[in-house]
Chain A
Amino acid sequence: MKSWLTDLPETFPDAMVIVDSQGRIVEANAQAASLFGFDKRKMSGLLIQALFPDQLPALPSGRSAQQDEAGRYLELVGSRSDSSRFPAIVAIMPVKIKQVTAVIISIRDLTEAQRTRFVLRRGVEILMSESRDRQALLGHLIRAREEERLRIAADIHDDAIQLMSAASLRLQQLRLRLPDQAVRPILDKLQEALTLASSHLRQLIFDLRPSGLEDGNLGAALRVYLEQMHADTGIAYRLDERLSARVPDRTALLIYRNVLEALANVRNHARASTVAVELLVIEDGCLVRIVDDGVGYDPADVEDRPGHLGLVLIRERAELAGGWCRIESSPGTGTTVEFWVPFGKSSTKPDAGHERAG
């Protein structure tokens, strides 16, 4: 046997032993001796079970591939000469050349691999934890923005608009009392400016706290915004609202904010001539699609750069509400923003009634 096996093990990078049909080691390479802490010469004659106590299954005989499952890989625990243990992956290969039957066993120490796997797993856990922290932070940001909007809207309504109304009334009184007709055009201009400023402030209040939403009229609130956008930018729109159910206020507000965020991108970046907004009820939730015919963008270029908080917020709002979101684009093909949000916040437990496979 030694005539052809003697030099074979030393050609392998891994630890390798060759055992006879009785399970005794007939050859071992230097790597095996080093791995198990033996003198290389003293390994000959050892039973292979000494290296893997109580673990190694019956060795294959090499009679046929079917019987022996040649080339098996096993994860075992190796035992060194000093009785210390280490994890190992073991490949078992029966060979039969010129009536000589032997089993080649290669052994690789997995200690380092397991350590690396542990470090990687920790890395993944840390990343996941940081990602969840980031999501929680974004959730707070979204809620804080909403609360701030409501506060600003209330302040404008209770303070600035009341003051402007009072100023307008006083201006009208002054107009009646002034005998000098030449001053009246100036007062008219002043009145006009006050009326315009009040109108702008009321529009701002609407943007901050869309009153239509409180009446459950999401479509109407969006139409008002789209009409204004058309007047401001010339971008044509198509609003396809197929909401067969009343959208709860919180969901409607989320949808409204997301649509406005998407439309802000259309206004500012897309160079689009048309935008289509579709709303329909799917699976007890609302599916929303905003599709423009603008210049589009290359996601590989854009998504790696910071400064896309709008798109991030659209996604986060949808996902925080238990929904999903897809924002896709290619150069020259416009951009599609699609998201679905459930009417009620989904719980952390899955629906029980949904079809299961099997």
Chain B
Amino acid sequence: MNPMFGQDGQRVLALITGIADLTADEVDRVTDAWKRVCPSDRATAWARLVRTTTEQERYQILAAASLARREALATAHRLRRADWAFWAAVSDAAAAVAAGARIGRDYDTLTAPLAAVMPPLATFPGRAPASVAGFTADDPRAPAVFSEGA
């Protein structure tokens, strides 16, 4: 679909376009949720992510993470939020979405903070939805753009 961001390029694009719609309160929630994740778990997830991908896939994943981080930075600026945990969380989530099913449970580690405000992130095609931060994948607050297969 979108060679820039790998096989799940559409989901990556949906994530990136959804960032601009977040409210200041949601940014704060993502920031807090990211800080609650164990740094070693996160580092391990990233290590596995780069280990389990080819150079080409890694490139696509890092491109997705980089673009999402940029979008998050712009959103944080607009909402007068300056904690880098927010754009780090968005970057983690975009990388995980770009990597897709291959990273298994590490997907949850990397997407959980952003999934707190974008519940459909807690699932990906072919996998049962995980319960993240008290939300379910069919949460009515889910942005329409994030519907399955968007």
Measuring CB to CB, which residues of chain A are less than 8 angstroms from any residue of chain B?
A: 121, 124-125, 128, 131-132, 280, 282-283, 285, 287, 298-300, 319, 322-324, 326, 328-331, 333, 336, 338, 340, 342, 346, 348-351, 354-358
Secondary structure dominating the interface of B: helix
The interface bits of chain B over 8-42 (1 if a CB of A lies within 8 angstroms of the residue's CB, else 0) are 00000000000000000000000000000000100
Given known contacts A287-B43, A354-B104, A128 and B59 CB-to-CB distance under 8 angstroms:
yes
**B107-129 contacts to A (CB < 8 Å):** 107, 124, 126-127
A283-B44, A300-B74, A350-B52 given. 13 additional CB < 8 A pairs? A121-B3, A282-B40, A299-B84, A328-B84, A333-B84, A340-B43, A348-B54, A348-B56, A350-B57, A354-B102, A356-B102, A357-B104, A357-B107
In the complex, B101 has a CB within 8 A of chain A? yes
A356 touches B88 (CB 8 A): no
When C-beta atoms are compared, the residue in chain B nearest to A289 turns out to be B39
Q: Does B80 contact A (CB under 8 A)?
A: no
Determine whether B146 belongs to the interface, using a CB cutoff of 8 Å to chain A.
no
Q: Which among A124, A282, A283, A338 is the interface contact of B3 at CB below 8 angstroms?
A: A124
In the complex, what residues of B have CB within 8 A of residue A285's CB?
A: 47
A350's partner among B54, B73, B127 (CB-CB below 8 A) is B54
Measured CB to CB, the nearest residue on chain B to A336 is B84
- Which of A125, A324, A326, A329 meets B47, CB within 8 Å? A324
**B44 touching A354, Cβ below 8 Å:** no
Interface bin, chain B: 35 or more
Q: How far is the CB of B82 from chain A (nearest CB, A)?
A: 5
How many angstroms from the CA of A33 to the CA of B87 in the assembled complex? Answer: 51
- With beta carbons under 8 angstroms apart, the residue of B50, B84, B101 that contacts A329 is B84
B residues in contact with A131, CB < 8 Å: 59
- Specify the chain B residue showing the minimal Cβ separation from A353: B52
Q: Cβ of A351: which chain B residues have Cβ within 8 Å of it?
A: 51-52
Cα distance A303–B63 in the bound complex, in angstroms: 16
Q: Is the CB of A357 within 8 A of B127?
A: yes
A324 touches B46 (CB 8 A): yes
Distance between Cα atoms of A340 and B46 in the complex (Å): 9
In Å, the complex CA distance between A19 and B53 comes to 52
- With a cutoff of 8 Å between Cβ atoms, the chain B residues found around residue A287 in the complex are 40, 43, 47
When the two chains form the complex, which single residue of B50, B101, B102 contacts A324, counting CB atoms closer than 8 Å? Answer: B50
For window 47-83 of B, CB contacts with A under 8 Å fall at 47-59, 62-63, 73-74, 77, 82-83
Q: Which residues of A contact B43 (CB under 8 A)?
A: 282, 287, 338, 340
Are B3 and A322 interface neighbours, CB within 8 A?
no
Q: Is the CB of B84 within 8 A of A283?
A: no
Question: How far, in Å, is A134 (CB) from chain B's closest CB?
Answer: 12
User: With A128-B59, A358-B101 as given contacts, are A342 and B40 in contact (CB-CB < 8 Å)?
Assistant: no
In the bound complex, CA of A121 to CA of B73 (Å) = 26
Chain A, Cβ-Cβ closest to B88? A328
A residues near B124, Cβ cutoff 8 Å: 357
What chain B residues lie within 8 Å of A300 (beta carbons)?
A: 73-74, 77
- B142 is an interface residue with CB less than 8 A from chain A: no
Inter-chain contacts of B91 with A (CB < 8 A): 326
Chain B residues near A329 (CB-CB < 8 A): 84
B101 touches A356 (CB 8 A): yes
**Contact across chains for B74 and A350 when beta carbons are under 8 A apart:** no
User: Are A322 and B127 closer than 8 Å at their CB atoms?
Assistant: no
Which residue, of B44, B51, B59, B62, has the highest number of chain A Cβ atoms within 10 A?
Answer: B51
A-chain residues with CB within 8 Å of residue B40 when the two chains form the complex: 280, 282, 287
In the complex, A132 Cα to B58 Cα: how many Å? 12
> Could you name 24 residue pairs across A and B whose Cβ atoms are closer than 8 Å?
A128-B3, A128-B59, A128-B63, A282-B40, A282-B47, A283-B48, A283-B51, A287-B47, A300-B74, A300-B77, A322-B50, A323-B47, A323-B50, A326-B88, A333-B83, A340-B43, A340-B46, A342-B47, A348-B55, A350-B54, A354-B51, A354-B102, A357-B104, A357-B105
Give Cα A275–Cα B23 distance, bound, in whole angstroms.
34
What's the nearest-Cβ distance from chain B to residue A71, in Å?
15
The listed residue (B3, B52, B77, B87) touching A354 by CB distance below 8 A is: B52
| Complex-state Cα separation, A197 to B101, whole angstroms | 59
Q: Which residues of B contact A283 (CB under 8 A)?
A: 44, 47-48, 51
